[in-house]
Amino acid sequence: MRRMIERIFEKYGTPILVRNLDGDTIFRGFLQHTGSLGWKNMQPSYSPLGEIPRGQYLLMMPLEPLLEKGDVFQKDGIWYTVRRVEKMWYGEEAVYRWCLCEEGGSTGTWGSQS
């Protein structure tokens, strides 16, 4: 299953540049704004991931490279900061990661682990 999902990222994902302590790495993934237009955009969103404040982005990516909270990445010339990272599992096999991100690297406190 993991290999099948990695092929989807390779074929359909867009290039994303990661910058962290390990240096710069390019991978292919999917980045999507979590909000929508209109009044609904002013309200918090609740999903299986928990509460997602508006103005945040969801990044779906392969298991490698490893991203951690606080890492930054660039897509289409815009920088984003990772606020939360989780693995998604198929049975007992990790198959991909999702990250909640903020544009530009602002320092919010949501998603922090206590």
pLDDT for the residue 8? 97
33, two tokens:
């704004």
Distance of CA 113 to the CA centre of its chain: 17
Q: Which domains, and CATH codes, for the chain?
A: 2-34+50-103 (2.40.10)
Q: Is 2 left (phi over 0), alpha (psi -120 to 50) or beta?
A: alpha
The pTM is what? 0.74
Q: What is the pLDDT of residues 9-57, one digit of tens each?
A: 999 999 999 987 778 899 999 999 886 544 455 455 556 656 555 668 9
- List alpha helices for the chain, DSSP H: 2-12
